[in-house]
Amino acid sequence: MIARKIKELREGMGISQPQLAKGINVANSSISFWENGVNEPKASYVFALANFFEVSADYLLGVGEQPQHIVIEQKFSPEIENILELCKLLDKLQLHRLTAYGQGMIDNKNK
């Protein structure tokens, strides 16, 4: 069960096994072994995977359904709406880089 969930979530984010391995600080081979059912991640890695994918550990282990995110509609300017739509196309690593870049722009502005 967890093997399929890890692979589905990883592919859904559009990231490679090495990118996931780097994201949770494990060897590339660990991801391959987990996805192919050779072995299963220990509890600390289930926790790291759940955090990385922003799902519950129960969902990863197949004992619970992933709750749907509650969407609250909010009005933004057309420029902000465009940025939000573009962000939806980015994977988690790209979003992290974009956030860091944006923070750098703010930090430089405030100097």
Q: pLDDT value at position 65?
A: 67
Q: How is residue 86 written in tokens?
A: 């573009």
Q: CA-to-CA distance for 55 and 59, rounded, in angstroms?
A: 7
Closest by CA position to 95, among listed 21, 5, 14: 14
How far CA 30 is from CA of 45, 71, 98, in Å, comes to 10, 35, 28
The greatest distance separating any two alpha carbons of the chain, rounded to the nearest whole angstrom, comes to: 52
pTM score of the predicted model: 0.59
Tens-digit pLDDT profile for residues 5-58: 999 898 888 889 999 999 999 999 999 999 999 999 999 999 999 999 888 888
